[in-house]
A and B are shown apart, each in its own frame.
Chain A
């Protein structure tokens, strides 16, 4: 995969026998033990490992929940109650799964902002980045489908509102949107039929994510990891072997993350949910204020900021799709925002815009909230379409170190470091 030579030595006759037939141990050794890792990675680089943990945790808890859950409109709401009250440790596993989705998104957003700040999407990591955008999309679809399963009021009305997004296509070809929506529903309204298929797809998509993650890691190991300087690994002293250095750091960060995770699971299992979801789905009453889960709020704010149905839907999908194009929108000669004195400020403005959109998405769509949602939506897109190309082309990067080693040890000590290379 990568440009470093294999250092794997089979130690036993069995290992040698395997190595000549299916060299999985060699691949694991070369890719996850002796893999060259930039020596200057900070803790923001531990989120890849944390995300892998999140995916596995969701898969394991989800498979268990599916053993007890009943995907029918008559039984879904009750079966969730039974899981939480009767099933042995159901209270724990259900809380891990529900809270786990929030933790997954928390980690993925940090991971994405890290990539944006340090230019991890720049050549030669375009495919790696675009695979990441697909993973984000698949995660969103999975989270949305999963949110329908408790069959509470918020579940029901979230499904109604989000599937109805497709009815906006009626503005393009009359009847097309309605046909798609009825196809998704399997009827003329959201019903048990809809719930049943959403359950099936909710079980399927995580395995699609799993496949995409394998490609994502594969692409990462071909291009090699980016790092805070954005420089490539040039000499042996620029890198350390993944094991034990990066693995130990990843493990430490993972434990810190798991403490936060456990705190939510054990002390605030329903804090990130919505009270209305403890009322069984009722197709005759819409809750007075529908809000999505926190991780969808910025996109929901963008949807509502546009005063046109189709336009709002297009803007919402475009806000994610645009990420796939930034490897070519960013015109800066350097990768890392660390050496971009002007762009750095715009980056933080972008972070503020995302947080503000999240806040505005949780507020009713009226008055001053709509005004600010429009301002920040405008900046969200301007950041990618205007700031990235223009600032990138005009700004003079600040002085950069010659290598990763120099960034860590300073110029004078460069000579002594080549001696300590592994």
Chain B
């Protein structure tokens, strides 16, 4: 039987092409169903926010909202800055600055702030372990063993530069992109 047909498989291409076409089509439909869960353009819009820091006295801190996250802004005392500067890099569990304004730099106190505005420490107030909000923003809060912040969920201690010193958190607190519009006006994002 097969002998009388010139090329018995010549129509296989139709089956292969049709199957491949359907498979690719079906597979490409997966992406819309995955991507629908990602942050949409509205959520992505950076919506940079401006804040007035004039009322924040030395030693005080405020928490502002940016992108749905709390941002800690601390007006540090000279003593706090001095302590943070004295820490040697090899004492830090995370030696990277985690500063979006200067990515990849070492985690010195200088690299965690903006030159000329070192007294202001600006960080996303979310523990890099599992996302709790560390304590340390109000005067009554426990500030941990290093005088900065303390996360009550799983016991991470951050220093006065927001760097992880002790506990399960893997990274220093993130510094968001920000600029100073004037001495007391800041734009985050």
Contact B69 A188 (CB under 8 A): yes
Given A161-B153, A183-B37, A286-B152, A189 and B67 contact (CB-CB distance below 8 Å):
yes
User: With A188-B43, A286-B132, A289-B152 in contact, do A309 and B38 touch (Cβ < 8 Å)?
Assistant: no
| Complex contact A307–B130 (CB within 8 A) | no
Among A161, A168, A307, A364, contact of B132 (Cβ-Cβ < 8 Å): A161
Instruction: Tell me, rounded to whole Å, the shortest Cβ–Cβ distance linking A159 to chain B.
Output: 9
User: In the complex, how many angstroms separate the beta carbon of A177 from the nearest chain B beta carbon?
Assistant: 10
User: Is A171 interfacial (CB 8 A cutoff)?
Assistant: yes
Give min CB distance, A312 to chain B, whole Å: 7
**B131 contacts across to A, CB distance below 8 A:** 160-161, 163-164, 167
* CA of A290 to CA of B134, assembled, Å: 13
Task: Indicate if the CB atoms of A283 and B63 lie closer than 8 Å.
Answer: no
Do B152 and A160 touch across chains, with their CB atoms under 8 A apart?
no
B68 at the interface (CB under 8 A from A): yes
Q: Are A165 and B130 in contact (CB under 8 A)?
A: yes
| Chain B residues positioned under 8 Å from A162 (CB to CB) | 130
Query: Does B119 make an interface contact (CB < 8 A)?
Result: no
Contacting residues of chain B (58-76) with chain A, CB-CB under 8 angstroms: 63, 65, 67-70
From B37, B69, B153, B169, A286 is in contact (CB under 8 Å) with B153
A186 at the A/B interface (Cβ < 8 Å)?
yes
A290 touches B132 (CB 8 A): yes
B68 CB to nearest A CB, Å: 4
CB of A211 closer than 8 Å to a CB of B: no
Q: A160 to B168: give the CA distance in the assembly, Å.
A: 16
Are A188 and B39 interface neighbours, CB within 8 A?
yes
With A165-B130, A197-B37, A365-B155 given, is the CB distance from A187 to B68 under 8 Å? yes
Does B133 belong to the interface (CB within 8 Å)? yes
Judge if A366 is at the interface, Cβ distance under 8 Å. yes
A194 to chain B, nearest CB (A): 10
When distances are taken between beta carbons in the complex, the residues of chain B under 8 Å from A78 are none
Interface string of A177-218 (1 = CB under 8 A from B): 000001111111101010001000000000000000000000
The residue from A188, A288, A309, A365 contacting B68, defined by CB atoms under 8 A apart:
A188
A22 within 8 A of B: no
Question: Are the CB atoms of A183 and B38 closer together than 8 Å?
Answer: yes
Is there an interface contact between B37 and A188, defined as CB atoms closer than 8 Å? no
A309 in complex: contacting residue of B37, B132, B152, B169, CB < 8 Å: B169
A286-312: which have CB < 8 Å to B?
286, 288-290, 304, 307-310, 312
List, in ascending order, chain A residues with CB within 8 A of B69's CB. Answer: 188-189, 283
In the assembled complex, how far is the CB of residue A310 from the closest CB belonging to chain B, in whole angstroms? 8
Instruction: Let me know if B117 is at the binding interface, CB within 8 A.
Output: no
We find that the number of chain A residues with CB closer than 8 angstroms to chain B is 37
* Residue tally, chain B, CB below 8 Å to A: 28
Chain B positions 116 through 138: 1 when the CB is less than 8 Å from some CB of chain A, otherwise 0: 00000000001001111111000
> How many residue pairs at the A-B interface have CB separations less than 8 Å?
82
Interface status of B6 (Cβ within 8 A of chain A): no
| Interchain CA distance A127-B166 in the complex, whole Å | 44
* Closest CB in chain A relative to B137 CB, distance in Å: 9
Contact B154 A160 (CB under 8 A): no
| A380 contacts B by Cβ under 8 Å | no
Cα–Cα, bound, A168→B43 (Å): 23
**CA of A284 to CA of B70, assembled, Å:** 6
Q: What chain A residues lie within 8 Å of B65 (beta carbons)?
A: 284
Q: Looking at the complex, which one of B38, B132, B155 makes contact with A366 (CB distance below 8 Å)?
A: B155
Q: A304 — nearest CB in chain B belongs to which residue?
A: B154
Is the beta-carbon distance between B133 and A285 smaller than 8 angstroms?
yes
A273 CB → nearest B CB, Å: 19
Asked whether, in the complex, the Cβ of B70 is within 8 Å of the Cβ of A283, the reply is: yes
Say whether B130 contacts A164, CB under 8 Å.
Answer: yes
- The answer to whether A184 and B37 touch across the interface, beta carbons within 8 angstroms, is yes
B155 cross-chain contacts in A, Cβ below 8 A: 364-366
CB-CB under 8 A from B169, the residues of chain A are 309
Inter-chain contacts of B106 with A (CB < 8 A):
none
Question: Does B95 sit at the interface, judged by CB under 8 A?
Answer: no
Q: Are A189 and B154 in contact (CB under 8 A)?
A: no
Contacting residues, chain A, for B130 (C-beta < 8 A):
160-162, 164-165, 167, 309
Say how far A134's CB is from chain B's closest CB, in angstroms. 23
With a CB–CB cut-off of 8 A, which chain B residues contact A184?
37
What residues of chain B lie closer than 8 Å to A310, measured between beta carbons? 170
Shortest Cβ distance from A179 into B: residue? B38
A309 and chain B: residue at smallest CB distance: B170
Name the CB-closest residue of B to A291: B153
* Contact call B68/A189, Cβ cutoff below 8 A: yes
Closest to B154 in A: A365
A residues sitting closer than 8 Å to B (CB atoms) are 157, 160-165, 167-168, 171, 182-189, 191, 193, 197, 283-286, 288-290, 304, 307-310, 312, 364-366
6 further A-B contacts with Cβ under 8 Å, apart from A161-B131, A187-B39, A193-B43, are A161-B153, A183-B34, A186-B38, A188-B67, A189-B68, A284-B65
Task: Pick 23 A–B contacts, CB within 8 A, sort by A.
Answer: A157-B153, A160-B131, A161-B153, A163-B131, A164-B131, A167-B131, A186-B40, A186-B43, A187-B39, A187-B68, A188-B68, A189-B67, A283-B68, A283-B70, A284-B70, A284-B133, A286-B132, A286-B133, A286-B152, A288-B152, A307-B168, A312-B168, A364-B155
